[in-house]
Structure 1
Amino acid sequence: MARLPPEWTARRVLIAVTSGALVGGLTGWPVAALLTVLAVLTLPGLLVPDRQAARRTDRMRALATWTEMLRDTLSAAAGLEQTVLATADIAPASLAPETRRLADAVRSGRPLPVALRAFAEEADDPLADVVVAALVMAVEQQGSQLAPLLGELADSVREQVAVRQRIDAGRASVRTGVRVTVSVTLAMALGLLVFNRPYLDPFNTLTGQLVLAATGLLFTASFAYMSAISRLDEPVRLIGPPAADLLAEGEAR
């Protein structure tokens, strides 16, 4: 199981194998059993709504809002540390746990740059890394133009949110096409099995199984291509485990 894709849980594998055994027993077609196992393992990722992408977009929107809150509070002549503390408890809900832990770390006496890097590591978001990098540079180098920079960062994040929403809409249309294709194919296959079983008798032969295998491979290739064109690669993070390791090493010294 450790070598399988993370979405292939033990429960899904069990359901896939059971479904394949049932289909194979009902039809007597080993190729149909194998295709059923593959379909149960892979199709849910294309058929169900992409909740992970929705959460990612929501967190990006929350990050833009929090960045604007930092800018506005900082513009009111509050120091950066006080600004972080003042906005931590009123940050958007999807980012609130991380900002509250950031505030707790600052209140406990942890240096602000260290607490900010820990926040970036916990948020695990490339855009959060950019905001944190600006804040850390302002603390360590006494930057005087932080408020305008935060405003520009917030605008940039909101632009990326708009782009991502357009991409998500395109991906949703791809998923709708997959749902229609799968639904029509399954409905036709079930209808033939129930109402016109003799029509499928040619698949009982070796040649029929080879034709079914070729058809299944074509479907698999099509769905794999749909999945590839709807996948969105995330940008490289600026603050990650290597940066955290260097920070820990510096503190030890």
Structure 2
Amino acid sequence: MDVMTLTVPLAALLGLGTAFGVVLVTVGLSGRDNGPANLEAGSWLSRFTSARGPVDRRRVALCLAVGLLAAVLTRWPVAAALAVVGAWVLPDIIGPDRDHARRVAKIEAIATWTEALRDNLSGAAGLEQAITASAIESPEPIRDEVTRLATRLQRSWRLPAALRAFAAELADPTADLVVAGLLMAARGSAGQLGEVLGELAASARAKVASRQRVAAGRKRNRTSARVIVGATLAMAGVLTLLNRGYLKPFDSAFGQLVLLAAGGCFACAFAWLGRLMRDRDASRILVGVASTTDAEAVVRS
């Protein structure tokens, strides 16, 4: 009977590992193609992997190692699966909010660049010259994008097309507002461009201050999540190592279903918590500009 109890979970675990390995191989062989036409014509798997971006192999290996450790300690296939999912998801919820820091740094860089562009307008021969001059000391988070914008102008791109490509690369609502003002100036409405850029820079800095206040409130949620996760893992570890008999009911198939249901409850709770802590940016006003950029990138005569 003990052999059967051990064999069933082990077989389930091996099946789970095989399925997960097939998924990883499929993702690795699917490749990535950023072309819009290929994404539309490709399979759902290629579209999914392209949208998710490249797979972090070290993170995948770490998650598999955590799942294997859980399988060895508990001999429960459900525990192994939950450990893999938890190792993949929990760092984004209870770890440092690096995405928020990147967003704030990007908005601050846009504000700084906008102010520099405003200051350059007074001594430049025109808007294009001011943009080219601003690329020399542009802030680090957007330096590559500003440099490409200046390079396009030096290669005789039309100003509206170069600005739309710049907005598509930044993909930020604050940048869209600045680019919209520059597009209006490029069409001949540059009478008060300096004042407009100053107001946009002030608005961007106010947005940064608001995000910082929101981040301070979210730290309490992350601390609560860390306490819950730490207490749960500590209790499970102590019971597994010191009082295995207390967890014996989970060795049965019904016990595995109960464990799966408990894990599902935790997953729903953390998904809800992650949604509460997710940034909600305003909608972009220049969405889809990349599709019109190539058609308008005509060399000036």
For residue 202 of structure 1, the aligned residue among 222, 225, 249 is: 249
- How far has the Cα of 1:206 moved from its partner? 4.1
For residue 155 of structure 1, the aligned residue among 191, 202, 216 is: 202
- Larger CA deviation: 55-64 vs 227-236: 227-236
1:86 corresponds to: 133
Equivalents in 1 of 2:205, 2:163: separation in Å? 22
Which residue identity is paired with 1:138?
A
2:119 corresponds to: 72
2:289 corresponds to: 243
Q: What TM-score, normalized by structure 1, do the two folds share?
A: 0.87
Report how many aligned residue pairs link the two structures. Answer: 252
Equivalents in 2 of 1:116, 1:143: separation in Å? 15
- Larger CA deviation: 24-33 vs 65-74: 24-33
CA deviation profile, 1:115-161 (whole Å, cap 9, x unmatched) = 22222222222211110110111121232011111111111111111
What SS class does the counterpart of residue 235 from structure 1 fall into? coil
Equivalents in 2 of 1:210, 1:114: separation in Å? 57
2:21 corresponds to: none
Which residue identity is paired with 1:185?
T
Check whether the contact 1:89–1:99 (CA below 8 A) recurs between aligned residues. Answer: no
Equivalents in 2 of 1:70, 1:176: separation in Å? 41
Check whether the contact 2:161–2:296 (CA below 8 A) recurs between aligned residues. Answer: no
Check whether the contact 2:71–2:79 (CA below 8 A) recurs between aligned residues. Answer: yes
CA deviation profile, 1:90-130 (whole Å, cap 9, x unmatched) = 12121222222222222233232222222222222221111
Correspondence list, 1:75-154, <5 A: 75-76=122-123, 78-154=125-201
Equivalents in 1 of 2:291, 2:252: separation in Å? 61
What SS class does the counterpart of residue 187 from structure 2 fall into? helix
Equivalents in 2 of 1:43, 1:251: separation in Å? 44
Equivalents in 2 of 1:34, 1:248: separation in Å? 46
Check whether the contact 2:158–2:297 (CA below 8 A) recurs between aligned residues. Answer: no
- Larger CA deviation: 22-31 vs 54-63: 22-31
2:217 corresponds to: 170
Moved segments of 4+, more than 6 Å: none
- How far has the Cα of 1:217 moved from its partner? 1.8
1:29 corresponds to: 76
- How far has the Cα of 1:9 moved from its partner? 4.2
2:41 corresponds to: none
Check whether the contact 1:20–1:33 (CA below 8 A) recurs between aligned residues. Answer: yes
Which residue identity is paired with 1:137?
M
1:49 corresponds to: 96
Equivalents in 1 of 2:156, 2:252: separation in Å? 75
Which residue identity is paired with 1:246?
T
Which residue identity is paired with 2:102?
R
Equivalents in 2 of 1:248, 1:103: separation in Å? 17
Equivalents in 2 of 1:67, 1:20: separation in Å? 48
Which residue identity is paired with 1:144?
G
What SS class does the counterpart of residue 238 from structure 1 fall into? coil
Equivalents in 1 of 2:89, 2:169: separation in Å? 30
Check whether the contact 2:132–2:150 (CA below 8 A) recurs between aligned residues. Answer: yes
CA deviation profile, 1:47-72 (whole Å, cap 9, x unmatched) = 32222221111010011111112222
Check whether the contact 2:78–2:260 (CA below 8 A) recurs between aligned residues. Answer: yes
Matched, 1:40 2:87: yes
Can you give the 5+ residue segments of structure 2 that lack an aligned partner in the other structure? 1-26, 28-44
- How far has the Cα of 1:43 moved from its partner? 1.5
